[in-house]
Amino acid sequence: MEVRRTIERSTAIKAPSFLAVLAHSKKIQQVFSEPGMVERFFPNPEEAPLIKAIRDTYSNMWRIEENENNKQFSEIIEKVKKQPNNFVLKKTEYALWDAWIKRDVKNIYFGQEILETFENFGADKSWAYILMEKLRPMSVKNHIVWAKDKEGSSRGDFFEEVTPELGIYGTLFGNISNGDVLYNAQLGHKLKTKLASENEGGIETGNSAYDSAYLVD
């Protein structure tokens, strides 16, 4: 942490900056999904369309600590109990670090797993998790050619319902003090595809494969 503090205090160009790292964390994303948080930074009435545009970029998220400051707790827990398949439970960065120490590889929980996880942790652990509305992305038919598994056997070629995930690479260079943007460009992309029937993707886990875009006018 001391090394990071030294870097942030220096005049070096940070890529990414600590603010960008925080913005990418699940906890910060959840905080910004709460009512009034985005509005703090865009208080002018004419900025309402911008606020909506920002909120439309992410799904609903909730913290699940049971305390007087979390007025949505009882309501959202009841919704999860009734329809657990509409939600995803994720560990925050702190919980991921704690899980890594304990060699716990489970980081995301779906459906009935969420209810089982709720039963196994108390107030001392619930704050380290984020509840998220489950996304329902479009699926298409496509081929996935799998690499060999750990035993050296080929998994073959599948023509199945799949879900693609597009990631955009870009560079933003500016002055954080006054907000001036000196350079902002989209410099590439990555497309990975997983079986629509799989909850979790990931190239490393073997549940996804690299893909290429086929653009249609």
Give kind and range of the element (H or E) at residue 173.
Answer: strand 157-174
Q: Taking the model in full, what pTM does it have?
A: 0.74
Closest CA to 133 of 51, 38, 62, 36: 62
For 47-185, where are the alpha helices, taking DSSP H only? 48-55, 73-82, 93-101, 112-120, 123-126
Comparing 107 with 163, the larger pLDDT belongs to 163
Residue corresponding to tokens 């509005």: 39
129 and 146 in a single domain? The answer is: no
Are 28 and 114 in a shared domain?
yes
3-state helix, strand, coil in the chain (%, to 5): 35, 30, 40
Once rounded to an integer, what is the mean pLDDT over residues 117-135? 79
* Residue 150: pLDDT over 70: no
* Domain of 177, in residue numbers: 140-211
Average pLDDT value for residue range 204-214: 81
First to last CA, the chain: 49
**Same-domain status, 81 and 183:** no
> H-type helices in 83-164, by residue range?
93-101, 112-120, 123-126
**How many domains is the chain built from?**
2
Q: Same domain, yes or no, for 124 and 144?
A: no
3-state DSSP assignment of residue 182: strand
The pLDDT score that the predictor gives to residue 71 is: 67
What burial class does residue 191 get, using C-beta atoms within 10 Å of its C-beta: 0-12 exposed, 13-18 middle, 19+ buried?
middle
Residue 124 and residue 41 share a domain? yes
Same domain, 124 and 151: no
For the domain that residue 174 is a member of, what is the CATH number?
Answer: 3.30.470.20
Residues 8-24, mean pLDDT to the nearest whole number: 83
Please tell me the number of Cα atoms within 13 Å of 53 on its side-chain side. 6
The verdict on 124 and 148 lying in the same domain is no
Q: Do 125 and 53 sit in the same domain of this protein?
A: yes
Distance in angstroms (rounded) separating the CA atoms of residues 133 and 70: 17
Q: What is the pLDDT of residues 39-51, one digit of tens each?
A: 998 999 999 999 9
